[in-house]
Structure 1
């Protein structure tokens, strides 16, 4: 491995791993000696990376010189922190980990003053009652929606009645008590909403509905809004 490639991998390890990272941990990740890590840390610092720490205490990437600083107002920064912390609480494991990783990357790209503000943000998010835990792999479902592929799954409704459904996944909506899938149902030939904690044995099919996801989603949202407005007028 060339030194340039190793320095790049070291930056990636400092960005993505939990902080601080010791030279021993970093050496194990890159397959080199701790002494090499110390030399490479010095080289990265010479190139402009702000890396806090020293041998025996571990290293933390404070500011990444390879990425341009991001400009946010203080309120924008608080909004980002609040949103990402909410995702950490309500998202599926993969999405929750992605939110944590995004916070780390964001901190590495911010100017030092705002990086400190991100670490000690005034706003936070907490939930005493979390949404029902999904019984399928939500990451797989998200990918199927992006790939615009139909999925099949067993579904049990609120009355305990079970059916087998084949749907075009359009969007996943995180609500107070449960996360739901907004979809086009092949069985009902209409839009339907399914709770993720009532779905089981999901399979992604080879059937593509590209490029219909975006127009279908727009139609579904428009119908939901129209129904909501009609209900408000009746009341």
Structure 2
């Protein structure tokens, strides 16, 4: 996370709170060390941001200039909160951290009644250590999709047989209980879906591919019966 983003999030985490927020809470929210929080808060105080408190006690922000509230209604806000919880649980670590930061920014500029509504939302998506999302596999596949990086997979099919495939990863899809990697399979010369939980070994070949007509994301989506979306 960029330092400028971190300072912004510290200010907005403190905005509108009636009680002090400890450095430990801030560190957990931003996924940084206590030392980083102490240093950032001290720098904000020196620059004139009206943060009161100190290490070991907690911090509060004196009422400063108001930020106009975002125009969400209660249902829209609940959708954002629930969506963020699902991304944190199922989107992999990188997107999960970003979702938490995004929600913090949104809640920071909400009027009090909507901020309280966001905290009362009772739809949860528990984050569990034994799911594929906690293994780092989704993050690695996501990075390969974004970088258009050819992957070598040792892949186990439903019968237990293993094959080695070189694939051009095009997208990730979540089906409510499992993920699939949509890719062009060089072995089969066609589009294939691969379940991350059946990938035995994942290696980056170091080769980047260029999407071409007939074997790009739009062609894949048409092949599986989906209309490409913007």
Structure 1 and Structure 2 fold alike (TM over 0.5):
yes
Any gaps of 5 or more consecutive residues in structure 1?
Answer: 1-5, 46-50, 227-235
Equivalent in the alignment of 2:22: 21
Contact 1:165 1:186 in 2 (8 A): yes
Equivalent in the alignment of 2:30: none
Equivalent in the alignment of 1:141: 141
Equivalent in the alignment of 1:195: 195
Instruction: Decide which structure has greater helix share.
Output: 1
Larger radius of gyration: 1
Q: How far has the Cα of 1:86 moved from its partner? A: 1.6
1:71-86 → structure 2 map (5 Å cutoff):
71-86=71-86
Q: Distance in 1 between matches of 2:87 and 2:198?
A: 21
Q: What per-residue deviation string (whole Å, max 9, x for no partner) do you get for residues 108-164 of structure 1?
A: 23344322322223x413469999526663212211111112111211111001011
Tell me: CA distance 1:212–1:204, structure 2 relative to 1, closer, same or farther (3 Å): farther
Tell me: CA distance 1:179–1:8, structure 2 relative to 1, closer, same or farther (3 Å): closer
Any gaps of 5 or more consecutive residues in structure 2?
Answer: 15-19, 28-32
Tell me: CA distance 1:101–1:30, structure 2 relative to 1, closer, same or farther (3 Å): closer
Tell me: CA distance 1:13–1:177, structure 2 relative to 1, closer, same or farther (3 Å): same
User: Is 1:175 equivalent to 2:182 in the alignment?
Assistant: no
User: Structure 1 length normalisation: TM-score?
Assistant: 0.69
Contact 2:167 2:185 in 1 (8 A): yes
Q: Distance in 2 between matches of 1:20 and 1:132?
A: 31
Contact 2:170 2:182 in 1 (8 A): yes
User: Structure 2 length normalisation: TM-score?
Assistant: 0.70
Q: Distance in 2 between matches of 1:75 and 1:188?
A: 46
